[in-house]
Structure 1
């Protein structure tokens, strides 16, 4: 794997707006060892696995990963904590620490997992990075509770991001984590969000591209329902028949349609 590109050094002192570096970088460090162990257990990683950690901070989770994984690559944007971890693991060849914004890192060219308590402000960018990584096997991410629920159908609704990638990646919510397990204490609780890449996607590559175009059309918002949006590209009679077979009421909002019915619609309409 190529070494991450150098980034401008972040300042440890307060910036011109008076905000601390920790606040600017959206840092709420994990302060509970039990939660760190829970996250590692939930990830399912083993002694032969390569694991990438995002935003390790003072290293609460890094310590648990070092005892469970074969190799750990930790990426910390804050130069103070990056230097701290490099010093701590200088004699341990299994753990390497870099000062970098994880979003700029090139993904490994071998199977790997991501396990991390990720910065709230960068959550969507990091999830998209994981989804684009060809050799990712799984990502176990500690996110805001609302984010984990939103992208795993927890509210009875599904996000466009989850629906788009569902044929190749499963989204699932794991344990809830109380906000008091972090320092500083955030305003909201967190939860584990699992991304698991399927060994065999539910659709072939060509069909997957067609499926994603269908999802893009369905979420276009035309007409107030999925059926109305689809009818802009397919004959209305065909859309009504497909919705009936897939169990999708023609007036159902797009966000409440689960992944299985999306795949059924694609197969019928294609």
Structure 2
């Protein structure tokens, strides 16, 4: 009997590592994640990886409905039992979140997501046309990288900036999770802009400029842009945006990219 119990516990730990599961155990932080998300009684929330329901507990009474996707069959069964009453507004689905279709109407995403699936989950969110916002607990380094926290900006953030805002809403000590991960977590918030900063008809040109800029020539944005634009126009765009002539691409803030684009695209 003891051997069976030991095997069960060993398998559970193995599943958690395989599924990249680190459960948030701090109730105050779980409540804060929901508050940061800014969701209300009229909202539908898709929760990614609810796990043992730490965040679900605070989401359920705050919104119209929660659609919780959990890939772990044991956790999905346990959470379904807890919210078996339809009046709870929580529907638990055992599925891989990245393989499901987004709801047709407006919705929000909230979740303490598996670190190993962060890129896939963010990609899904950016591609969901009805998504209004996503509040995700990710690795601290990832959250900083996407929000300029290290003094650098990533290609993904710059490319999507006209349509999405990226912000960092806090750092969670790694000891607030079980099992304890190797790094702290960050609360990453994406919000779709109601009015894009670039006209939809010009977004293709903006993205091409970003790809060109991050293409890499001499390590600077100016050198990269001169491959496709006259040097004088590039110099004028950089000056208008307050970008140093030799500024590395990653050090240029999204707002500066937008200003440079408006000059180059005229």
Cα RMSD after superposing both structures: 1.5
Aligned residues: 257
> Which digits, 9 at most, give the CA deviation of each residue in 1:221-267, with x for residues without a partner?
12211111111111222212221222111210000100111001110
CA distance in 1, matches of 2:197, 2:33: 28
- Indicate whether 1:53 and 2:59 are aligned: no
Partner of 1:103: 98
In structure 2, do the counterparts of structure 1 residues 184 and 40 end up closer, same or farther at CA, with 3 Å as the change threshold?
same
Q: CA deviation at 1:33?
A: 1.2
What SS is found at the alignment partner of 1:60?
A: coil
CA distance in 2, matches of 1:174, 1:224: 31
Contact between 1:76 and 1:100, CA under 8 Å: does it hold in 2? yes
What SS is found at the alignment partner of 2:47?
A: strand
Partner of 1:245: 240
Partner of 1:44: 38
Partner of 2:22: 28
Partner of 2:110: 115
- Indicate whether 1:150 and 2:175 are aligned: no
CA distance in 2, matches of 1:92, 1:183: 30
- Indicate whether 1:203 and 2:180 are aligned: no
Partner of 2:216: 221
Please state which structure has a larger fraction of its residues in helix.
2
What SS is found at the alignment partner of 1:127?
A: helix
Contact between 1:118 and 1:141, CA under 8 Å: does it hold in 2? yes
Stretches of structure 1 lacking an aligned partner (at least 5 in a row): 1-11
> Which digits, 9 at most, give the CA deviation of each residue in 1:64-104, with x for residues without a partner?
11111110000011111111111111113411001111110
Stretches of structure 2 lacking an aligned partner (at least 5 in a row): 1-7
> Which digits, 9 at most, give the CA deviation of each residue in 1:2-61, with x for residues without a partner?
xxxxxxxxxx8868xx97010001000111111110101111111111001001111111
User: How is 1:8-23 mapped onto 2 (pairs within 5 angstroms)?
Assistant: 20-23=14-17
- Indicate whether 1:160 and 2:172 are aligned: no
TM (normalized to structure 1)?
Answer: 0.92
Q: Which 10-residue stretch deviates more, 125-134 or 18-27?
A: 18-27
CA distance in 2, matches of 1:132, 1:237: 37
CA distance in 1, matches of 2:103, 2:112: 20
Contact between 1:114 and 1:138, CA under 8 Å: does it hold in 2? yes
**1:134 pairs with one of 126, 129, 138:** 129
Partner of 2:181: 186
